[in-house]
Structure formats: C-alpha cells, structure tokens
Chain A
C-alpha cells in the first residue's frame, strides 16, 4: 500500500507548523508524522481494525491474497452482533466460520453473541480510547470519536487489505466544526440535535469531512448523549466525527475499564492519558456551525430518509404499530432509563421492543429497575446486539407497518420490509408513542394515558 502517496507524500517535513484540528492530530499520530494538512494522502496504521458478522466474508477475500497470515492480529477486534444470536442455520454457520478464524489467527479481542454492538463494546472494553485510530468494516465507525479517537468506515476489501498489510491510505479531510453552547431543554436529547442538523445540512452535508464538536455546551452532555453525536454524523456523510476528551470522558473510561478489564484497568487508562490528543485552539476549519442547545425542539426523521426531517409537533398523531429502542445510536442506559420512566405504571398500547446496546447496559438497566418497569408495561426485551436495525431478525416489520425507532436509519426496506415505514426519534418519544398509539411527545401523555 505504501506505493500510494499523495501530491505531498514526499514533502513531509515542512518547517512551519500550522495549528491542527483534533482529526489532523489523530491522523498525524496514526501516520507517524509531525503534522498533516487537509487534502494530503497519508498511510495510516490503525490501532484497531473492526469487523463483525462480516468477518467471514472478509476472510474469504483475504484468502485471495498471498499473505496467508494476518499481519497484526493483536489489532483486530471482532464482535458477533449483527445477527446474534443467529436466526438461521446459515447465520449460525457464518458465526462458526468466524470463531474458527479467531482461533486460527489468534485474535484475542473477540466478543461473542450477547456481549453487544461493536461500537458500544469497543468503547466499554477500552479497545478504543483517546488518541487512538480505528478503521472498521462498518459505516458507524465514527462512533468512537466521542472518546477523542479517530474512527472511519471502510469496505470489506479494504479491511482484507488491512489484515494483510496493517496499513491503509486515507485522505486527510477538511474539518466541519460544530460549536455547541448552552443546555438542552428537558425532553430534548442529542438525537433531536443530530436529526435537526441532518435536516438542515442534508444527508451529504458533511461528505468527505471530519466533524469536530466543540464549545462549552459539551460539558452539559453525558457520555451516553455524546456518543449519539458522533454516531449520527455517519448519516451526514462524515468521514469521522470527534470531540476532545474532558473530565466526563475520563470518569467514564475509569469506571468502564474497572468493570470490563479489572486486571489492567490502571495501565490501560495510563496508555490513553499518554495517547490523548487535543485540538489547537486556533486550528482552521473549512466550515463552522453554531448551535445553541436550548433552541432545539423534539425532532423526527420521516420515511424514507434520515434527512426528511419534521418537528415532532407537526407529525404528532401519526399512527404507529410498533416501537424499537436500541442500536448503537440509542440503546444505552440513559436511553432505556428515559423509556422506563415514561412507561412506568402504564400499559403500552403498541408493541415496544427494547434491545440494550451491550450486556453491560442490560445489567445496569436490570439493576436500576428499568427492565422491570418496561416488562410490566408490556415491552419485549431482546438480546444485546443490533436486533432488527438492519432487517436481519428479531423484530423485523410486516408490510404496511409503521415503526417508531431510536435507530439511525429509516431507509426503505431497512427493517426487512419494503412496504413498511420507519420514523426516527429519541427513545422517550418512542416510548411515549407506544403508550399513546401514535407519534407523541412524553409531555403529551400527561396523566390521561394511565391504564
């Protein structure tokens, strides 16, 4: 791969040292350079190469290469999450092939069915963290950027190439800075913020760009809420999305690592403290947007594109048949808690499927009593994983059904059925809609919906 060099591939050691964005610093580290500029092509050695149920297909491609062995098996991370537990013998066979690959190639970062969705699990397990770089065979790979990491999605063939060589070329993207100020109103979440932005800027608003979140509004956002921001930027076409780590990030890492890897949590945290990077205050960016958080209203993406956006108030009372709370976007504890708070003591008028993003989330949700509240109201709880998000199994739709979902995509056929409709919203709106039987904000339920 090293034979691909950009126009400035050779002139790496320019004397002057321009201020850099977080993404530029991350890519400089990953390509072992002092500095990089937008437009340059760099060869990066990612710290993490992510794949999931698609690993067997990647293995098949890899075998067309003469390399034989995976170059850096220690850098691979594989989760079984997209069709887990397997719905058919064919899916089970796919998983069996992946387990064989994992054994044969000595891949230690392997996460079995039920552990959860790749993006969530890799953060919880401290596989990815501040300053690290991840390339993944999954389009929501920008997700990990909420920890101050670089994550970008690539295709299966490129992952096979990465398995063989350990490196890949990337173009250093221009940066779109999104400056957040203020605080969200109660009942409004970062999901509403991202839907709002995608509605304004469209699904290709950030194509080929790095999105960098900045501003003191971030300090008012929880870890769970931050992950929604970087995750959803995939729906705006971004190459990656990130924000600098702060005290909230470090607290989250400390407590997650203590749970997921008590044997070396301190060591891992020290590694991240050393690798952490922060943007230069005066770094130039291609575009800058300012968002005052308190101005955001509850928003909905209507069928069949994420950028078909309406304020919830203007589509309220649309009939729904089923709700889904889960996915790498909105399947975390805070999301499940907000749904549980709404349905507690009520009966659901519509089916509500809740699939926690990871086993850690499920465990916490049980302990906090959220799962009991959801079950009592009539909800269905699924095994941590992607569930019906991409139409594989466990809650796919019937023709003509209308689903209100906390996921990130509502494309035609996404949940397995061409003639179904998917609305996207925050988890509290999904829960409230399943109580009401139509699109509703939790505030609309006030009292009148008691069973």
Chain B
C-alpha cells in the first residue's frame, strides 16, 4: 500500500484556535493563502510559519483546536503546506472544519507520546496505520462519506461536484 513520509511538529494538549490563528485577523484575512500561512500558529510557536515545509504534519495531544469556529485555524495550516494533524483528540468544530476544508485529521492517542518535533512518521491511510521509530499505530477508519469529502478537497468542492452531477 502507499505510505507517505512526513516530518513532525509536536505540540501539547488543548491547543486552541486563538493560538493557531489569532482572532484579530479573522475579518481581514480569509482567502489569501500567503497571508494565512504567515500567521499560522503565530501565538503558539513563532518559529513554525517560517520553517514549516510542504507535507509536514502536526502531532498534538488532547482537544486540538478548541475554541472558536474560525476556519482559518484549519486553512492556515493547509496554506502552510501541512498534510495532516494527528492528535489524541479534536474539538468538535475543528474536526468538522478540517474535513470540510480537506485537511486530513487522524485521532491516534498512542502515537502522541512516541514522537517529537523533527521526527519522521509515515501514514498509510488505506491500511489505517501510522509508523514511527519502527513501530506501527492503528487509527479508526474514517466513514466512507467523510473520505469522499476529504478526497474532493472539502465540502464545497464535494457539494459542487454533486450539484453539477445532479443537473446532468
């Protein structure tokens, strides 16, 4: 099966949306990827935005993304090139927003303790396995329709494709 390789940025428990993407920018920055990427994790890790590479993943503890419903807390990571967020658990709205914006989110508490910033991990989505430092970690299969939305790149492209298909 196809495994993909990624570099890890590791964070702790309860990282909230205000430190992922500050509220003061929410009505002035929304669609511009470069501006979104520039402020990603600004109040959590000032070193992140300038050093993150395309395909990197975030590994974090419990309740990633609690707080606001702002979607920029998801899209700023996509704009920065982040491939996935792997966390022990997610806040409800963040989880929905991630899928609806096409950001892969994986709940896998076991791997969190095992990796650190700079480590390499591999993701096998089809086999629902993560690999890090010679070990593998399973995660629950995402429901079919959720995968469909993720594959389409989010709820808008998915809905668009469905609406156009209905018209034919």
Contacts and interface: CB of A to CB of B under 8 A. Distances in A.
B24 A390 contact: yes
B160 A65 contact: yes
B62 interface: yes
B68 A390 contact: yes
Contacts of A65: 156, 159-160, 163
Interface stretch (A178-186, A252-260, A413-421): A413-421
Interface residues of B, number: 44
Interface string A358-371: 00000000000000
Contacts of B151: none
A352 B38 CA distance: 34
A160 B101 CA distance: 12
B159 A164 contact: yes
Interface string B110-139: 000000000000000000000000000000
B159 A161 contact: yes
Q: Label chain A's interface by main secondary structure.
A: loop
A411 interface: yes
B145 interface: yes
B71 A155 contact: yes
Contacts of B74: 155
Contacts of A156: 69-71
Nearest to A155: B97
Nearest to B158: A161
A153 B24 contact: no
B4 interface: no
Contacts of B101: 155, 157
B63 A203 contact: yes
A418 B22 CA distance: 9
Given A157-B100, A207-B63, A413-B22, A239 B92 contact: yes
Contacts of A208: 92
A116 interface: no
B92 A237 contact: yes
B163 A67 contact: yes
Contacts of A155: 69-71, 74, 93, 96-97, 100-101
B155 A161 contact: yes
B24 A416 contact: yes
Contacts of B167: 66
A390 B92 contact: no
Interface in B12-71: 14, 16-19, 22-24, 26-28, 30-31, 42-44, 62-63, 66-71
Interface of A: 1, 3-4, 53-54, 57, 60-61, 64-67, 82-83, 88, 90-91, 94, 136-139, 141, 153-158, 160-161, 164-165, 203-204, 207-208, 237, 239, 305, 307, 390-392, 396, 409, 411-414, 416, 418
Interface of B: 14, 16-19, 22-24, 26-28, 30-31, 42-44, 62-63, 66-71, 74, 89, 91-93, 96-97, 100-101, 145, 154-157, 159-160, 162-164, 167
23 contacts: A3-B162, A64-B160, A91-B28, A153-B69, A154-B93, A155-B71, A155-B101, A156-B69, A165-B159, A203-B63, A204-B62, A207-B92, A208-B92, A237-B92, A390-B18, A392-B23, A409-B18, A412-B18, A413-B23, A413-B42, A414-B18, A414-B23, A418-B42
